[in-house]
Structure 1
Amino acid sequence: AAAMSAAAAVRGLALAALLVLSPATAARQTRRPNVVLILTDDQDVCLGGMTPLRKTNALIARMGVTFVNAYVPSALCCPSRASILTGKYPHNHHVVNNTLEGNCSSKLWQKIQEPYTFPALLKTMCGYQTFFAGKYLNEYGAEDAGGVGHVPPGWSFWYALEKNSKYYNYTLSVNGKARRHGENYSVDYLTDVLANMSLDFLEYKSNFEPFFMMISTPAPHSPWTAAPQYKKSFQNVSAPRNSNFNIHGKNKHWLIRQAKTPMTNSSIQFLDDAYRKRWQTLLSVDDLIEKLVKKLELNGELDNTYIFYTSDNGYHTGQFSLPIDKRQLYEFDIKVPLLVRGPGIKPNQTNKMLVANIDLGPTILDIAGYDLNKTQMDGMSLLPLLTGDKNVTWRSDFLVEYQGEGYNGSDPTCPGLGPGVTHCFPDCVCEDSYNNTYACVRTLSTSWDLQYCEFDDREVFVEVYNLTADPHQINNIAKTIDQEILEKMNYRLMMLQSCSGATCRTPGVFDPGYRFDPRLMFSNHGVRARRFSAQSLKGT
């Protein structure tokens, strides 16, 4: 009898424990899914950028879906990050480059766009607790825009890096208070600090509301400072020598043509070194992903959490003899990794649909149950693609747009090049200029894999690439492609450059529902009626 009563007592205790646990457990099971977004800085996919991330590939890619045609609408940090946060193209969020004048984290951005970012909607409308750690926007923390005391609406927990990516000797805004970090690896190495803050959040957050985390690493952005244990990794690795490496960019915009070919030995040594160091910095991101997934598993939250992994833009190392940078219109700069795992996503899948980072906001709001018709976002929810909906109608094109950075004066290192150039290397190869301002339609349909681009310069220079025949974009076919396709692309580009919300999702040139009226092309001011208007560049 005593044994029976002891067993009954244990059962009673177990039942009592279940009753105590059940509200949180039940809430967790019926709650909206959690979402984690990991955003790396300048990580390419075309040149092997995902190769060093073995754990990330195992824990996210193999457990979910890899989007092999994921792009950014602007191949530069600040405009691209603004597109992620707002779900909008640059002409609609008005962040055109990495400067305050280009609206990067400016007062105007804070007033007009920040209150309507997807994290703000998640927190205020969907009841999510939200956590941000890492690089936000390149000019965040600028004195002229509120300093690090400015905490954007929508964040319950805010650990944001002042200005641009660093690994040591930086300042964080900790919920609006400045915290200075030094150069002691064990307490200051930024990628590891982000990992530790993320684990702390998962340990101490509320268990009664779903959460959204955005972790934005400095890696693999310059200055490419690896953790001490990884400084000797990849000693035999060098930048890929693919078919557009160290060749002259003939028939391209003048900025590409000015690169010196062949590159000097010192330039090649420099870019190989940069490539190797970029990979080394990513090993700490790989460790972060592993710690995060283990913690979610330990908490019993992994099965109800979507994890997105992507980058703000691609990168080049020697393509068309440009040493290192991003911001050009080619695949290596506009294409990024995108891996997703989560509830209802089958493991080990690849998806070939054309997706863009303007889709991340709508997707995450869709996961949270928010009505996307209430937003002004240009992107589309990826949720039907994630869950394998076969009846989904998808886009066949999207817009790429960039406003070049340049100064009226000449670059002090290269006075011979004249005014307007910037980001110049010692051998006077410059990566940008104020008239490196362009817009492209990137098309991926059943019949065409095409890129059509126009430059806003005196030449009104056009570049067109058939990527089926020429995946490395060596041959500009603007002068030989069928004239009707050129006209349709020009018209489509004008449409996309003035699109907003639903009009950004209309059928592309090769879609069955496409409508083309050539008469419209010659209304107003002739064929190229709409460029980046002065108004859209001022951000009014």
Structure 2
Amino acid sequence: RDLSQHFHIIALLLVLIASIVLISISLSVIFYPQTPMKKTKELIGDAGVTFSNAFTATPLCCPSRSSILTGKYPHNHLVRNNSISGNCSSTAWQKEAEPFAFPVYLNKMRYQTFYGGKYLNQYGSKDAGGVGHVPPGWDQWHALVGNSKYYNYTLSVNGKEENHGDNYEKDYLTDLVLNRSLHFLEERSPNHPFFMMLCPPSPHSPWTAAPQYQQSFSDVKAPRDGSFNMPGKDKHWLLRQPANPMPNSSIEYLDNAYRRRWQTLLSVDDMVEQLIKKLDSIKELNNTYIFYTSDHGYHTGQFSLPIDKRQLYEFDIRIPLLVRGPGIKPKQALQSPVLNIDLSMTILDIAGVNLSTVNMDGQSFLPQMAPSLRNGTERPFFLIEYTGEGNSSEDPSCPKLGPGLAECFPDCVCEDAFNNTYACVRTLKDANLQYCEFADNESFVEVYNLTSDPHQLENIVKKVDPALLQIMNQRLIKLESCTGDSWTFAYFDFNLKYDCALLH
């Protein structure tokens, strides 16, 4: 490939990245075939590649977004949860991680960079520099202060506070991000490539749809997949708490939440369509890579849990990933596993950065999308990790639960706890297997054979051969200790093969 040719990149995170555009949202891939985003599927997925095995390194907003920006696992970038004390957009993060995030490298390659929408949950906090802090690497900065909102929010616009109300035409955040990205495309210099990262609030709560979409999907319900309204009797203690079967009132709430999430996504679908029309009109579409992905999955009633993420199961750790761009054949469906920590390395690879000079945990998947550009190596296994959040005091409405819990619902079902801290090794190569260890008093372990049990209904830890458990434990230890260059696959002993007979 002629690296003198620089492409544009748009990332929709939803994340847009050529030019490179990255679009990013919070969306479970388990239910992606039922997505309301028909235009996005046609304009990005059908026009390029769909990755059927894309995963987040950690199923929570701030740690996952930090992994996307740095190309590192949470145990290396040290963002553990959505709080400043958990290093989310803290001064330590700003000093130690942001200067090495991928936009800094793009800026050095003379990319014109634009950010619009949600950044990190604690961004703009007075305890961490306020709205005046603009991360390095961004030429145009239009970032939401705090967590997702659709109206009545504050932006940092290149370091200056900008307040918004509840007027749809002027303030609806998804549309505002679109309009400012279109303006950026009009005003940019044609002499340099560009990168845009667009992060609308959809489909995050409070699920405020645009007026024209508030009556859509009246018949849509939360998917009744194999684990919906099922008990978590053999799982970590947190999963054993929800009432089962769920009461009708809970199911009605889940259906309504799911429907409203879909409604918010229709504006994102419009965003994708308008961006692609604009790129086509300025004759840059064929020079632009467009990424569409998410920071984590989501659950709505699986194992009788309410609505959230944070758990180790497929519905929370799988993410959508669609990419189109130069050299990518249309209508590809790739099975190779990719992680959100790979996005940064892939973007830098497209931009022509010498990857040997970059200290990240991820690897470029550009060779998988466009094999003619370079031969790639498929990872045989990978790490999923999460650090649980909890409150030091008990919830007044649920005193029997005691302290250490978080995200509790009125019926005293909680989504998180301090000891909901786990690390998993996941493999697709020799066996479709997941092995997870919890950092709790039980040293609880969960193991799933996803070939025979795709909905993870049965924890088979007591049924598998101890030799397999030992192999998985050793791989997990190595994965949790790796950083940067030590992620090369030569680090691992591949003579340790899975014997499928050990699974029975």
TM-score tier by shorter-chain length is over 0.9
- The 1:170–1:392 alpha-carbon spacing in structure 2 relative to 1, beyond 3 Å, is same
One-letter amino acid matched to 1:210: P
Q: Are 1:367 and 2:350 counterparts? A: yes
Q: Are 1:498 and 2:481 counterparts? A: yes
Secondary structure of 1:332's partner? helix
* 1:515 Cα deviation from its structure 2 partner: 9.3
1:460 corresponds to: 443
Q: Are 1:353 and 2:336 counterparts? A: yes
Asked if structure 1 preserves the Cα contact closer than 8 Å seen for 2:82 and 2:88, the reply is: yes
2:214 corresponds to: 231
2:403 corresponds to: 419
1:330 corresponds to: 313
- The 1:48–1:386 alpha-carbon spacing in structure 2 relative to 1, beyond 3 Å, is closer
Secondary structure of 2:30's partner? coil
* 1:388 Cα deviation from its structure 2 partner: 2.6
One-letter amino acid matched to 2:427: T
Q: Are 1:292 and 2:275 counterparts? A: yes
Residue-by-residue CA offset, 1:84-135 (whole Å, 9 max, x unaligned): 00000000000011000000000000000000000011102x1111000000
- The 1:50–1:289 alpha-carbon spacing in structure 2 relative to 1, beyond 3 Å, is farther
2:9 corresponds to: 35
Give distance in 1, aligned partners of 2:186 and 2:496. 51
Q: How does 1:270-419 map to 2 (within 5 A)?
A: 270-389=253-372, 391-419=375-403
TM-score, normalised to structure 1's length? 0.88
Select 1:110's aligned residue among 94, 103, 109: 94
Residue-by-residue CA offset, 1:348-392 (whole Å, 9 max, x unaligned): 000000100000000011111111111110000011001035953
Give distance in 2, aligned partners of 1:413 and 1:279. 31
Give distance in 2, aligned partners of 1:373 and 1:133. 30
Q: How does 1:161-176 map to 2 (within 5 A)?
A: 161-176=144-159
Asked if structure 1 preserves the Cα contact closer than 8 Å seen for 2:8 and 2:289, the reply is: yes
Give distance in 2, aligned partners of 1:295 and 1:342. 15
1:78 corresponds to: 62
Q: Are 1:443 and 2:417 counterparts? A: no
* 1:471 Cα deviation from its structure 2 partner: 0.3
Secondary structure of 1:379's partner? coil
* 1:393 Cα deviation from its structure 2 partner: 2.1
Residue-by-residue CA offset, 1:299-347 (whole Å, 9 max, x unaligned): 1100010000000000000000001100000000000000000000000
TM-score, normalised to structure 2's length? 0.94
One-letter amino acid matched to 2:250: S
2:48 corresponds to: 64
Q: Are 1:96 and 2:80 counterparts? A: yes
Q: Which runs of 5+ in 2 are unaligned?
A: 15-24, 499-504
Residue-by-residue CA offset, 1:50-82 (whole Å, 9 max, x unaligned): 610011011000100000000001000000000
1:11 corresponds to: none
Give distance in 2, aligned partners of 1:61 and 1:515. 34
* 1:502 Cα deviation from its structure 2 partner: 2.9
Q: Which runs of 4+ in 1 moved over 4 A?
A: 511-516
When the two chains are superposed, the root-mean-square deviation of aligned CA atoms in Å is: 1.7
Asked if structure 2 preserves the Cα contact closer than 8 Å seen for 1:34 and 1:212, the reply is: yes
One-letter amino acid matched to 1:326: K
One-letter amino acid matched to 1:154: G
Q: Are 1:140 and 2:114 counterparts? A: no
2:114 corresponds to: 131
Select 2:187's aligned residue among 204, 212, 216: 204
One-letter amino acid matched to 1:259: P
- The 1:507–1:317 alpha-carbon spacing in structure 2 relative to 1, beyond 3 Å, is farther
One-letter amino acid matched to 2:11: L
Asked if structure 2 preserves the Cα contact closer than 8 Å seen for 1:135 and 1:163, the reply is: yes
Secondary structure of 1:262's partner? coil
Asked if structure 2 preserves the Cα contact closer than 8 Å seen for 1:378 and 1:505, the reply is: no
Paired residues, what number? 486
* 1:217 Cα deviation from its structure 2 partner: 1.0
Secondary structure of 2:252's partner? helix
Give distance in 2, aligned partners of 1:38 and 1:484. 43
1:530 corresponds to: none
User: Percent same amino acid at aligned positions?
Assistant: 61
Give distance in 1, aligned partners of 2:216 and 2:497. 54
1:9 corresponds to: none
Asked if structure 1 preserves the Cα contact closer than 8 Å seen for 2:390 and 2:405, the reply is: yes
- The 1:456–1:388 alpha-carbon spacing in structure 2 relative to 1, beyond 3 Å, is same
Asked if structure 2 preserves the Cα contact closer than 8 Å seen for 1:31 and 1:209, the reply is: no
* 1:503 Cα deviation from its structure 2 partner: 2.3
* 1:507 Cα deviation from its structure 2 partner: 6.0
Residue-by-residue CA offset, 1:264-320 (whole Å, 9 max, x unaligned): 211111111000000000000000000000000001100010000000000000000
Secondary structure of 1:48's partner? helix
Q: Are 1:54 and 2:38 counterparts? A: yes
Asked if structure 1 preserves the Cα contact closer than 8 Å seen for 2:384 and 2:425, the reply is: yes
1:158 corresponds to: 141
One-letter amino acid matched to 2:200: T
Secondary structure of 2:371's partner? coil
Secondary structure of 1:281's partner? helix
Give distance in 2, aligned partners of 1:191 and 1:306. 21
Secondary structure of 1:98's partner? coil
One-letter amino acid matched to 2:417: S
Give distance in 2, aligned partners of 1:316 and 1:450. 21
Which structure is larger by alpha-carbon Rg, 1 or 2? 1
* 1:396 Cα deviation from its structure 2 partner: 1.5
